[in-house]
Structure 1
Amino acid sequence: MLDLNSDKSIYIQISDTIENEILKGNLKEDDRSPSTNEFAKIYKINPATAGKGLNILVEEEILYKKRGIGMFVAKGARDKILKKRQEAFFKETIPELIREAKMLEVKDSEIIKVIENYNGGEG
């Protein structure tokens, strides 16, 4: 679901949405991706904005185009997304977590305990 009030650009949200669907297994290799026009109609956005989000994924070889048919999930797309997001996680998320923990004087052992006991909210 796109958040039209978010600080994150709509076209980035579109590419993130497709990546998330691939990671969840809802879109598999060679499955057809929602089209530019489908995104534009559903979210009432400019087709060029939707196209920009899809083209990012084409450039990253996560989607590929079949002329006149649409865009499809490329072979190895899930692994590419995992690698990209893991790198961002370790480069951006973890350092921010550590900075915040230090500022709040949270001990390393407390963070480790929370991580080890975390069940993702799944019972």
Structure 2
Amino acid sequence: MLADRDTVRTTGLKDETWLRLVDVETALSVRSWGAAEPVVLEVRDGVLPENQGCYRIGGDGVTRVDTEPHLGLDVADLGALYLGDVRPSTLAATGRVVVHDPAALALADRLFATDVVPWSGTGF
């Protein structure tokens, strides 16, 4: 611990942890979710087509569904959301999440929220 944290300054930021979900349905099923109404998320995956589809995500779990999505994104962006370090609304503001239902964005923020920010400490 630092005796005086005001003496420390950030001189740079770089990526440490990257995540690529290989089995989206299983990964989403084992993750814990925040308290919010369910959201239907459409995942696109150009490498593993079996991951593509719509997933209903809620506090009661995850189910693959055949309904219209509230939000859509690429599997690469889902990796960032999965760890909880970035909010869906942040990715939506940059165009990385397609919003079909604006009300779902705040719900998704609550669902993907975590108490602990991911950190690795190992560069690559």
Q: Normalization by structure 2: what TM-score?
A: 0.26
- The structure that is helix-richer by fraction is 1
Q: Normalization by structure 1: what TM-score?
A: 0.26
More relative contact order in 1 or in 2 (CA 8 Å, sep 6+)? Answer: 2
